[in-house]
């Protein structure tokens, strides 16, 4: 070990996340299957909480539906800039729900305890800061900010507010990530030296060609509010409904998907981030006027630290994947590797213990007497951890953590400091791609070098 054993089993955000069966030893020559379970304990509390949704698109609605699966949560208000989504909100949550196109109206409502911010990325910082100043707890979709320059201001606003702020990379609350964190801390794969992540899709919807409502027009969309903090342009329904494709509003593949992989990796390794960022890629298929690539590759250097040895990371994102799409995070160490998803972990180890069977020892002596020093090929030991049937999922658990923190004034698994350290290297990928150069980043001080 270069440093004190990186024992960093810290608060996992939700108490009591355990494996149903703990292995007595890592080394084994047969594949084992073990189930992960959530032992939640008293995390839900009983205090009713009033909730508002700001941004009622696909992700916002998914967030709201998941949040409302919890006890004593009531949806009181919805803000969106498109009339159709406001009308749909009545169908979903009742005729008496408060509807508005101005988020500031929601922040004035005293019975609203917390807001979900699921707007396009270019509004995340301003609405978050305004909500904190108004005394609201905040659940903000990833990436937390639209640019690296916005990070510190939002962090400072959160620290001053005394409110709970959760960033919405829900995988951090998954049983898969929690088990991987535990295994790494126990030395299951030795010291980390390399990691890679892949996020692939192969469909128009997956590539952000979202449907455009037939009634989309300046009469049904508050376009001027949408572009109020960016370049002024005439109404364009593609830019409004497919905003991820445009730099004024979205953060490309890196901000949408790399940030998930950064979040999981940083959680598992307890890392604060890389110090060197590089990206390349291109527009290979979706030539629909978008300003961002549909294939992106990233390379990252993680320096030696108290939390982990130095290692390298590679990330890939492909929206033209003929294999129909896959997502994974692989973490490689000196003794093995882990393939990690939110619902399972495949642990592979090459350091298999020698047999203590006397018969096998004698038979071994009979083989290749002239080459007794020759090394053998050892099969990897595999242990597969998977969630139990009926697991409610990482998204559910992420909101459980958020609501529990509000009710107990406790911590969350993904506060703005953690969220910024995951978002910044993703956003720097965009800068590296555009400028065609390596980007330096100080992950401790959280600033561009």
pLDDT band at 351 (very low <50, low <70, confident <90, very high): low
Could you tell me which residues are beta bridge partners of residue 447? Answer: 442
pLDDT band at 380 (very low <50, low <70, confident <90, very high): confident
What domains are there in the chain, each with its CATH number? 49-171 (3.40.50.720), 175-448 (3.30.360.10)
pLDDT tens figures, 317-346 = 999 999 867 788 999 999 999 999 999 999
- pTM reported for the whole predicted model: 0.88
| pLDDT for residue 7 | 38
Residue 112 in this model has a pLDDT that exceeds 60: yes
- Quote the percentage of the chain above a pLDDT of 90: 81
Average pLDDT, the chain: 90
| Contact (Cβ atoms closer than 8 angstroms) between residue 107 and residue 136 | yes
pLDDT band at 363 (very low <50, low <70, confident <90, very high): low
| pLDDT for residue 327 | 86
pLDDT band at 101 (very low <50, low <70, confident <90, very high): very high
Length of the chain: 449
- Averaged pLDDT for residues 350-362: 60
Q: In what order do the strands lie in the sheet with 447-448?
A: 17-19, 32-38, 381-387, 344-349, 336-340, 327-333, 192-200, 311-318, 295-302, 276-282, 439-442, 447-448
| Contact (Cβ atoms closer than 8 angstroms) between residue 119 and residue 55 | yes
Residue 18 in this model has a pLDDT that exceeds 50: no
| Region of poorest pLDDT, from 2-6, 31-35, 86-90, 398-402 | 2-6
| Region of poorest pLDDT, from 41-55, 152-166, 181-195, 392-406 | 41-55
pLDDT tens figures, 387-414 = 999 999 999 999 999 999 999 999 999 9
- Token digits for 127? 């609405």
| pLDDT for residue 68 | 98
Residue 21 in this model has a pLDDT that exceeds 60: no
| pLDDT for residue 185 | 97
Q: What is the dihedral of CA 85, 44, 9, 30, to 10 degrees?
A: -80
CA 310 to CA 319: how far, in whole Å? 31
As a three-state string, the secondary structure of the chain is: CCCCCCCCCCCCCCCCEEECCCCCCCCCCCCEEEEEEECCCCCCCCCCEEEEEECCCHHHHHHHHHHCCCCCEEEEEEECCEHHHHHHHHHHHCCCCEEECCHHHHHCCCCCCEEEECCCHHHHHHHHHHHHHCCCEEEEECCCCCCHHHHHHHHHHHHHHCCCEEEECHHHHCHHHHHHHHHHHCCCCCCEEEEEEEEECCCCCCCCCCCCCCCCCCCCECHHHHCCCCCCCCCCHHHHHCHHHCCCCCCHHHHHHHHHHHHHHHHHHCCCCCCEEEEEEECCCCCCCCCCCCEEEEEEEECCCCCCCCEEEEEEEECCCCCCCCEEEEEEECCEEEEECCCEEEEEECCCCCCCCHHHHHHHHHCCHHHCCCCCCCCCEEEEEEECCCCCCHHHHHHHHHHHHHHHCCCCCCCHHHHHHHHHHHHHHHHHHHHCCCEEEECCCCEEC
| Contact (Cβ atoms closer than 8 angstroms) between residue 98 and residue 147 | no
Residue 31 in this model has a pLDDT that exceeds 90: no
Residue with tokens 């961002």: 292
| Contact (Cβ atoms closer than 8 angstroms) between residue 318 and residue 295 | yes
- Averaged pLDDT for residues 224-242: 98
Residue 254 in this model has a pLDDT that exceeds 70: yes
Q: In what order do the strands lie in the sheet with 114-117?
A: 98-100, 73-79, 49-54, 114-117, 137-141, 165-168
Residue 17 in this model has a pLDDT that exceeds 70: no
> Taking the CB of residue 250, how many other CB atoms lie within 10 A of it?
24
| pLDDT for residue 46 | 75
pLDDT tens figures, 424-449 = 999 999 999 999 999 999 999 999 99
Residue 110 in this model has a pLDDT that exceeds 70: yes
pLDDT band at 355 (very low <50, low <70, confident <90, very high): low
pLDDT band at 13 (very low <50, low <70, confident <90, very high): very low
| pLDDT for residue 32 | 84
Of 17 and 350, which is predicted with more confidence? 350
């Amino acid at each position: 070990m270069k440093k004190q054993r990186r024992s960093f089993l810290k608060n996992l955000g939700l108490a009591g996340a355990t494996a149903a069966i703990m292995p007595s030893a890592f080394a084994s020559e047969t594949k084992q299957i073990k189930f992960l379970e959530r032992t939640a304990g008293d995390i839900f509390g009983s205090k009713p909480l009033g909730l508002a949704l700001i941004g009622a698109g696909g992700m916002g609605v998914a967030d709201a539906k998941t949040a409302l699966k919890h006890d004593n949560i009531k949806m009181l208000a919805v803000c969106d800039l498109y009339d159709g989504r406001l009308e749909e909100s009545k169908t979903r949550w009742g005729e008496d729900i408060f509807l508005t196109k101005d988020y500031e109206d929601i922040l004035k409502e005293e019975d609203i305890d917390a807001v979900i911010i699921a707007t396009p990325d270019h509004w995340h910082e301003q609405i978050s800061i305004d909500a904190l100043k108004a005394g609201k707890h905040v659940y903000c979709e990833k990436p937390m900010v639209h640019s690296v320059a916005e990070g510190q201001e939002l962090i400072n606003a959160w620290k001053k507010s005394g409110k709970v702020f959760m960033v919405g990379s829900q995988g951090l609350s998954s049983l898969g990530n929690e088990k991987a964190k535990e295994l790494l801390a126990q030395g299951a794969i030795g010291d980390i030296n390399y990691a890679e992540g892949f996020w692939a899709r192969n469909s128009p919807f997956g590539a952000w060609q979202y449907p455009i409502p037939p009634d989309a027009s300046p009469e049904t969309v508050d376009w001027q509010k949408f572009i109020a903090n960016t370049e002024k342009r005439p109404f364009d329904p593609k830019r409004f409904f497919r905003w991820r494709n445009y730099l004024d509003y979205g953060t490309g593949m890196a901000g949408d998907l790399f940030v998930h992989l950064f979040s999981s990796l940083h959680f598992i390794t307890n890392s604060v981030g890389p110090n060197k960022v590089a990206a390349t890629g291109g527009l290979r298929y979706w030539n629909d006027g978008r300003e961002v690539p549909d294939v992106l590759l990233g390379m990252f250097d993680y320096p030696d630290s108290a939390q982990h040895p130095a290692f390298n990371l590679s990330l890939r994102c492909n929206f033209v994947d003929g294999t129909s799409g896959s997502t994974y995070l692989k973490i490689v160490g000196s003794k093995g590797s882990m393939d990690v998803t939110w619902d399972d972990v495949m642990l592979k180890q090459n350091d298999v213990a020698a047999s203590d069977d006397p018969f096998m020892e004698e038979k071994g002596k009979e083989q290749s007497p002239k080459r007794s020093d020759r090394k053998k090929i050892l099969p990897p030991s595999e242990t597969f951890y998977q969630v139990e049937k009926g697991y409610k999922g990482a998204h559910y658990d992420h909101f459980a953590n958020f609501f529990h923190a509000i009710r107990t004034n406790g911590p969350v698994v993904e506060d703005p400091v953690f969220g910024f350290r995951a978002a910044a290297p993703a956003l720097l990928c965009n800068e590296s791609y555009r400028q065609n150069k390596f980007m330096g980043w100080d992950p401790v001080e959280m600033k561009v070098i």
